[in-house]
């Protein structure tokens, strides 16, 4: 299984949807709260050029927002 990382905030509806999708599909992931972790926020912006969340990395593939079809394709499910 590819390494999955999500940069999110507690108030982000699409972040919650993405994390629920991962849980329902038994996909382990690392979640960084960029609302409280300034270092991870900077890392997210440096890696993605994005200020909005969620920013999801599946392996080396970046997906901005909760795009279920792109996520499924990247995970091969």
Encode pLDDT of 4-41 as tens digits. Answer: 999 999 999 999 999 999 999 999 999 999 999 999 99
Do 27 and 3 form a contact (C-beta atoms < 8 A)? no
Reduce the DSSP state of residue 31 to 3 states and report it.
strand
pLDDT of 71 reads 97
Give residue 65's pLDDT: 96
The model's pLDDT over 56-76, given as tens digits with 9 standing for 90+, comes to: 999 999 999 999 999 999 999
> Domain coordinates of the chain in residue numbers?
4-75
| Farthest-apart Cα atoms in the chain, separation | 33
Which residue's entry shows tokens 């994005």?
A: 50
Q: Which fold has domain 4-75?
A: Glutaredoxin (3.40.30)
Token digits for 46? 């440096």
Which residues does 58 contact at the CB level (< 8 Å), separation at least 6? 2, 3, 4, 71, 74, 75
Inform me whether the pLDDT recorded for 1 exceeds 80.
no
Confidence at residue 2, expressed as pLDDT on a 0 to 100 scale = 87
């Amino acid at each position: 299984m590819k390494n999955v990382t999500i940069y999110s905030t507690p108030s982000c509806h699409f972040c919650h949807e993405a994390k629920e999708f991962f849980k329902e599909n038994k996909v382990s992931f690392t979640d960084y709260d960029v609302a409280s972790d300034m270092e991870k926020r900077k890392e997210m912006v440096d890696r993605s050029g994005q200020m909005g969340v969620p920013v999801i990395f599946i392996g080396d593939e970046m997906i901005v927002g909760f795009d279920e079809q792109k996520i499924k394709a990247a995970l091969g499910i």
